[in-house]
A = this chain, B = another copy of it.
Amino acid sequence: MKLGVAYYPEHHRPEQWSADLALMKQAGIERIRIAEFAWSRLEPAEGDFRWEWLDRFVALAAEYGLAIILCTPTACPPIWLVEAYPEVIPVDDEGRRNVFGARQHRCYNTPAYLAYSLRIVEEMAVRYGGNPNVVAWQIDNEFGGEQKRCYCDNCRKAFQAYLKSVYPSIRELNERWGNFFWSLDYQRFDQIGPPLKYKADLWLKNSPSIEMEYSRFSSQAIVAFCREQAALIREHSPGRPVTTNRFPLNWGDNVHWPELVRDLDAAGMDLYSESLHEIGFYADFNDSLKPGRSWFMEYGPNVANLSDGMEQVRGRGCEWFTIFKFKPFPFGQEQSLQEMLTLSGEPTASYRSIADWAAGRDAAGAPAAGAASERFAFSGVGIVFHFESSWAYTISRWGRQITDRLHYPNYVIDVVYRSLFRPDRSHRIVTDPGGLEGMHTVVVPLHIVHDPALEQALLTFANGGGRVLVTSDLFQKNADNVYLTRMPAFYTEVFGMTSFCAEPKGADAVVRRAAYGSGEVVMLHKDAGLADWRAAAAEWGMAGAE
């Protein structure tokens, strides 16, 4: 595992750069991640590009032997773009256009935003694509992070086009969504808008089917935009790996990351956590998405257990580990007193901890595991993570805050993965039904949306001797977010069940247990808690550390 760090040359006078670069180098850092929010300094007015400062910094970094991960600055459109095209700014779920003043103020379906974004990306790619010191690219920043959806007129039109591409007729859409319920039938696609919040005195919400489609649509817009940026960069910067920095799932899994990562060269993500099982989960997840090319683009150094966390990440196959950030921001919305340096520029405990780690020393100066150690052995356990099942849960829990509704990722991470967590073994996070080879056990929590390919794969896997652990909400809904009225084969063939489990959890969290072929299948109640999961894991000898 090698080390990088985020730095913002545009925040400092050029005279400051050399001192900072020297301190980075001394800490064992090899790469610097720059420019992700610098649009207003790279193009301070429309078409007025200012590359000089960036040229100088890239060159100066080279002098210090520090390579550059160059970021496209598209997460923060500048004021001139917003002023000329107010529709760049997203509209919220109450129909109000948001304001300029923070970040992520962009609608992924608005032509002006897309055009100006791709223009600066192309300009950047042309200028730096062949620079020998620019060794990798990060696209945008935390796509779909704080602004998960837009509800503007451009989205409206794009959503209607999306629906037309999916449904042969409005009649079929009505039937599949059950729009006869509550007389929600549409006559034409152009009557369908984004699912703005239905504001009532009590409980009312939109149809779960339109919400599921809007989740899919919103994710796909981001995937498409990322793909367009990647194509431009690849055209002008051959051989450099391209990635992005994904948001952690427990802050919102609204982007279908496997779809997005598929076209990138490395799986990049951001993580701020002190919880070792959570760090373990994300490190396994990242390496499962792109084996051998797991990159942490941001990792917060201000934690007590920094070296323990780094060891978890390293042992699970991380290739590049990038600290966010070298220096604290005195200004703006992310003020802090210290990062690797203090406000006044002095190295902090985390600076020293990172330098020690890079030098293969522990905090007492003795030799320690360090970057080059072996990675953890694979446990043989796969855990399926299914984005559309998570969306189905998010839609069904319409609390006030996004974080309240993230039942699925919180359950998978803090109950399921935690029950299986071992600090020296890695698990596989499965996002593709084709990926079950090499495992002895597959765990399928809260997979409420039916996936026929996965169903078949699980049957084959169990039949061939594998162990499968599912929850009682397995495969209850179709991709329209509608419950099935015919039982899936998994139920009838494995358990002989003729209806879904509708009972509340009893004292025994195991709902069903069956041999299947030469394998074994256990169904845990969907409300099973950490102790239940630990008991189930123990039965198969997979219990994690407490």
Residues of A bordering B, CB below 8 Å: 8, 10-11, 37-41, 44-45, 73, 76-80, 83, 92, 94-96, 98-105, 145-149, 177-187, 191, 193, 195-210, 251-252, 328-335, 337-338, 342-346, 348, 396, 402-403, 476, 480, 482-487, 498-500, 502
The answer to whether B79 and A203 touch across the interface, beta carbons within 8 angstroms, is no
Q: Contact between B502 and A182 (Cβ–Cβ < 8 Å)?
A: no
**Given the complex of chains A and B, what is the CA–CA distance between A345 and B209 in angstroms?**
22
Smallest Cβ distance from A532 to chain B, in angstroms?
21
CB < 8 Å neighbour of A102 from B182, B209, B329, B403: B182
- Could you tell me the dominant secondary structure of chain A's interface residues? loop
Nearest chain B CB to A388 CB, angstrom units: 16
- Cβ of B487 and Cβ of A344 under 8 Å apart? yes
Q: Which residue of B38, B104, B149, B487 contacts A204 across the interface (Cβ within 8 Å)?
A: B104
Q: Which residue of chain B has its CB nearest to the CB of A345? A: B485
Given the known A-B contacts A338-B499, A502-B342, are A102 and B204 also in contact in the complex, defined by CB atoms under 8 Å? yes
Q: How far is the CA of A199 from the CA of B101 in the complex (A)?
A: 11
Cα–Cα, bound, A185→B191 (Å):
40
Q: What are 7 A-B contacts with C-beta separation under 8 Å?
A: A79-B191, A83-B191, A101-B196, A101-B198, A202-B402, A204-B333, A208-B333
Copies in the complex: 3
Contact of A402 among B186, B201, B208, B329 (CB under 8 A): B201
Given contacts A96-B94, A147-B200, contact A183 B337 (CB under 8 A): no
Contact in complex: B344, A486 (CB < 8 Å): yes
- Residues from chain B with a CB closer than 8 A to the CB of A482 are 330-331, 335
* B102–A40 touching, CB < 8 Å: no
> Smallest CB–CB gap between A235 and chain B, Å?
25
Task: Please give the distance in Å from A257's CB to the nearest CB on chain B.
Answer: 17
Q: B185, B203, B502: which contacts A146 (Cβ < 8 A)? A: B203
Are A37 and B343 in contact (CB-based, < 8 A)? no
| A200 vs B247: C-alpha distance when bound (angstroms) | 15
Enumerate chain B residues within 8 angstroms of A44, measured Cβ to Cβ. Answer: 185, 187
**Which 10 pairs from chain A and chain B are nearest by CB?**
A178-B331, A181-B332, A40-B183, A330-B483, A76-B183, A342-B499, A40-B185, A102-B204, A337-B502, A146-B200
Contacts of A206 in B (CB 8 A): 101-102, 333
| Additional 17 contacts, C-beta under 8 A, given A37-B183, A44-B185, A44-B187 | A94-B96, A102-B207, A104-B204, A105-B198, A146-B200, A146-B203, A182-B332, A182-B333, A201-B402, A202-B252, A207-B331, A207-B333, A208-B335, A330-B484, A331-B482, A335-B482, A337-B500
